[in-house]
Amino acid sequence: MSSRVLITGGAGFIGSHLSERLLAEGNEVICIDNFFTGSRRNVEHLFDNPRFELMRHDVTFPLYVEVDQIYNLACPASPVHYQHDPVQTTKTSVVGAINMLGLAKRLRVPILQASTSEVYGDPAVHPQTEDYWGNVNPIGTRSCYDEGKRAAETLFFDYRRQHDLSIKVIRIFNTYGPRMHPNDGRVVSNFIVQALRGEPITIYGDGSQTRSFCFVDDLVDGMVRLMNTDHSVTGPINVGNPGEFTMLELANAVLEITGSTSTIEHRALPQDDPKQRQPNIDLARRELGWEPTIALRAGLERTVEYFRGVLETDVAERVR
């Protein structure tokens, strides 16, 4: 049976792919976005679909719509963007969560929170399991995002305990793919854009720090599976690719795929940058029957192809 689904941050990188997936399954999608990091270009190919609706709206203000499910994705997710206006970032996570939880409570519908591996901070436990409480600096430059997401999780579970609301909390690990913002400062988009432009690839630190990279289609599949679980399943559930790669390994893979002659340039590590990040996904396997299927190289090839097209289009528009 089709549902009417609200996606906050729906014109963003992940939200646009989620919109596609839900529409393909026959659902109606109301996509809201304030376009701080999202873009109409990410969803313009959906405008002709009569089951898709796009609204400009900021989740820090209440919203009154009638829906069957809510995916709360609204929040800038890269340091470049969430540190641009840290107070607004915290408000988006906290006030936005309050507004969307209030809507879910009024409608008595399930709501999924797009949380993050950043709730683990610079982890002292490796790989990270859902019962690890994290190692987070509450007053650092990344705290607006890290602590904002932690507070949002608190609100979700308090609404569950106090109102028996059907909540789903997913902790998203590094995700990449087409429609990433080219200037978001995240490592995959950074490396690819720099390589395609022939600029030096910037690695912070010595490049030995690790991340685990999940292709966006795999992530969206995990989100949809979690949303459609029984009322008793709340999460938090880690969703990410447990394959661990150093920054140097990622840079070399990007250089090989792009055929770039870019050099590698080392810079100082930013404050509170985690040295390791790898999900334990045993819970996702058990509760959702989920694990990633797209290998890093295959995902990178699709992402490089997307960014090549974006850069070529930008050049053509400047020439015009």
What pLDDT is attached to residue 315? 60
pTM across the whole model: 0.92
Q: How many CA atoms lie within 13 A of 316 on its CB side?
A: 6
- Active-site choice (71, 145, 159, 176): 145
Catalytic status, residue 145: yes
The rounded average pLDDT for each run of 10 residues, N- to C-terminus, in the chain (320 residues) is 94 97 98 94 97 97 97 87 89 97 98 96 91 93 94 98 98 95 86 96 89 96 98 97 93 96 89 78 98 96 95 66
Query: Cis omega before residue 123 (within 30°)?
Result: no
What number of CA atoms fall less than 13 Å from residue 210's CA on the CB side? 14
Cβ pair 223, 184 in contact under 8 A: no
38: alpha, beta or left? (left if phi > 0; alpha if psi -120 to 50)? beta
pLDDT at 60: 97
- pLDDT (0 to 100) of residue 318: 58
Question: What is the greatest pairwise CA distance in the chain?
Answer: 58
